[in-house]
Amino acid sequence: MSLSATLATARTGMAATGVRAQTASSNIANVSTPGYVRRDTSVSQNGATGGVTTDVARTQDRVLVQSRRDAQSQSAHSGVIQDAMQRALSAFGEPGSSTGVFGTFTQFENDLQTLRSTPESGAAQAIAVDSLKDLTHALTTASQDLQTERTRADANLSTDIDQANELAADLFKLNNDIRTASGAGRNTAPLLDQRDQILDKLSAYLPLNVTYENTGAVAVRTDSGLTLVGVTLNEIEFSPANRVGPLDSPEPVGRLSIPTLNGQPIGPNSGGHGITEGRIAAHLTLRDTDIPRQSAALDDFAYDLASAFQAVGEPLLLDAGAAVDINNKVGLSERLSVNPLVDPSRGGDATRLRDGLATATQGAPSEDGLLTQLVDTIAPFSDRLGNVISDVSSEVYRAERIHTGNLARETTLFDADAELSAVDLDNELQSLLAIEQAYSANARVIQTVSDIFDILARL
């Protein structure tokens, strides 16, 4: 190799080493920067010129990143479901609790048994009536709490869709910036970091399929194939309800809006274009499936209890002042009230709990026949209510188990991605030492060639 070629090679080596030093310095400076992906410098030899070419690239495994985002959608979905299921269970009241539907039913059962033992006691009569009123109040509160969960789900759905649309708009604009920077030959790595941060946030709302252009711009579709960000920007459309009641159901039968994208409904029950993971799908599942199922179980209990009283000729519980109707069970828990004939606060007489609602005059103080019949009538309902709450508890346990598993998978994939893409400060410092040594070696070569040229010049 000639001296000139040696000098050129050393200078090229110094330039490449300078690029490597800048890359390592950038990695070290951004070790704590959220969303920063480690840069690596590759050096290749140009066969035509004998020189070298340097290329700085982000270190990333797109397959791993896609898997991590899928896991993020799943854990976001299960987290929303878990939180709502836990609140729903508190609305029912757990077995052993003195509050909630279970606690107030147990108290009414105990007070009715006490009254059977002391049918002549006016205080026991009043206490039993008050306990029955507490039970209807607990049923009303539980029903309202469940509808509050549905209203919350609808409101959160609206908020999350707005957030998803804003992120999609930001990504669409960023795509244009990436294409412009790439066409001008500028470094796009910082823009690609921003792109990935947006995609990470967006994947919490709905599952994504991402395709990449050579420039680094992306097209984003749902996992069911509907385009959110592409040549054009498409918004998810949704109309929130101010309040969700027990009679409300989703479109097309009811008034509750189902989100659409490109004119296609994307609810979990919407068929081929529906989404089943992410926060948006979770809110829809709660509003339209999970909470209505629990409300139906509560209404069934309320109807069966009121019907049992009616069956023995004592309609102690009424639906808005009338006898309960099997064709009007939806929302019954919220409407059920104590018959005013037995309620002193509404002009009734508590002795009718002992003597019968149709009795015009008080019976014998020691008569317990009707009370025994009422105690026997409600006896099976304790187990019945316990089974309802057990079913809700099982749903809570299942939601917690699923969420724990999803979080573990997300954490595993996040750690794997971080190991590949995050900055390792120790490795970067070691790399700087190696770069310094390479730079010094090239500098010595240049100095040696320069000294040789000086000697030749003096000959």
Nearest Cα to Cα of residue 18 among 438, 441, 447? 438
How would residue 363 be classed by pLDDT, with cut points 50, 70 and 90? confident
What are 240-299's pLDDT values in tens digits? 998 999 999 998 889 999 999 999 999 998 888 999 999 999 999 999 999 999 999 999
Residues 6 or more apart in contact with residue 380 via CB below 8 angstroms: none
CA distance 222 to 70: 11
What are 78-126's pLDDT values in tens digits? 999 999 999 988 888 766 667 789 899 999 999 999 999 999 999 999 9
pLDDT of residue 176 exceeding 70: yes
pLDDT of residue 183 exceeding 80: yes
Burial of 152 (0-12, 13-18, 19+ CB in 10 A): middle
Nearest Cα to Cα of residue 210 among 76, 71, 62? 62
Q: Are the beta carbons of 388 and 301 closer than 8 angstroms? A: yes
Confidence (pLDDT) at 271: 84
CA distance 150 to 134: 24
Angle at 24 between CA 19 and CA 26, to 5 degrees: 95
Confidence (pLDDT) at 55: 60
CA distance 414 to 419: 9
Every domain of the chain and the residues it spans: 3-61+424-458, 64-313+342-416
pLDDT of residue 217 exceeding 70: yes
Q: Are the beta carbons of 111 and 124 closer than 8 angstroms? A: yes
What are 159-171's pLDDT values in tens digits? 999 999 999 999 9
CA distance 280 to 157: 6
| Distances 229 to 71, 222, 236 between C-alpha atoms, Å | 21, 10, 11
| Of 55 and 94, more confident | 94
State the average pLDDT over residues 175-201: 92
Place of tokens 């991605």: 417
| Distances 91 to 88, 101, 140, 340 between C-alpha atoms, Å | 5, 8, 10, 26
Confidence (pLDDT) at 420: 79
Burial of 231 (0-12, 13-18, 19+ CB in 10 A): exposed
Beta strand spans in 168-223 (E): 208-212, 218-222
**Phi, psi for 348 (deg, rounded to 5):** -90, -170
pLDDT of residue 155 exceeding 90: yes
Name residue 122's amino acid: G
Confidence (pLDDT) at 428: 61
**Where are the alpha helices (H) located in 184-290, listed in sequence order?**
189-203, 278-285
pLDDT of residue 1 exceeding 60: no
Confidence (pLDDT) at 96: 65
3-state class (DSSP) for residue 41: strand
